Amino acid sequence: MSHYCERAKDIAKEITNELATTLNNMDGDDMNTLLLEIQRADKVFFVGVGRVLLSLKAIAKRLAHLGIKTYVVGQITEPAITEKDLLIVGSGSGESAFPLIIAKKAKQYKATVAHIGANPKCSMNQFSDFFIKIPVSTKLQLPDEIASVQPMTSLFEQSLLLVGDTLALMMIREQDIDMPSLWKYHANLE
């Protein structure tokens, strides 16, 4: 085996160890609360920026496969948000400008706002109804954050995606959904 192959395996192991540590340190009650809010909502909206937005889009897609009406803020077919809906904000720092503006707007329409982030002491607090902490370092590099060997906020973005997949599997098991039957919801114009 080449030196590069060994190095890649070692690095992959570092990343998966970080992910396991992060997910194992999340609060299960917070995850249950988020799952209940998702199931209770008429529609679930998602907002974030950059790589966080990519993770949120993947979560929205997977939840749509499970029958949840999901929308990414800004998509051309986005409907109006109401008091019966949930906005999920992904922002590690809780300080990103666009998600803050959208959360404030959602509260004006009395929607429930969930913030998934790493920084509980942030500006997003004033607009969110509850907080789901992913215990990793943010772009703010605060002293109480868990450091990562990965660049910038990769660990947050990866963990966010896995939080979404965890919620989806929780729903599947809770509702005893037959997984092969989900393929009927998969895009077929590919």
Catalytic residues: 157
DSSP state of 84: T
Rounded Cα distance between 39 and 68, Å, is: 8
Residues 6+ apart with CB under 8 A from 12: none
Residues 6+ apart with CB under 8 A from 41: 68, 84, 85, 86, 112
Rounded Cα distance between 95 and 34, Å, is: 21
Q: What is the DSSP string of 117-181?
A: ES-SSSGGGGT-SEEEE--S--TT--TTSPP-SSSTTHHHHHHHHHHHHHHHHHHHHHTT--GGG
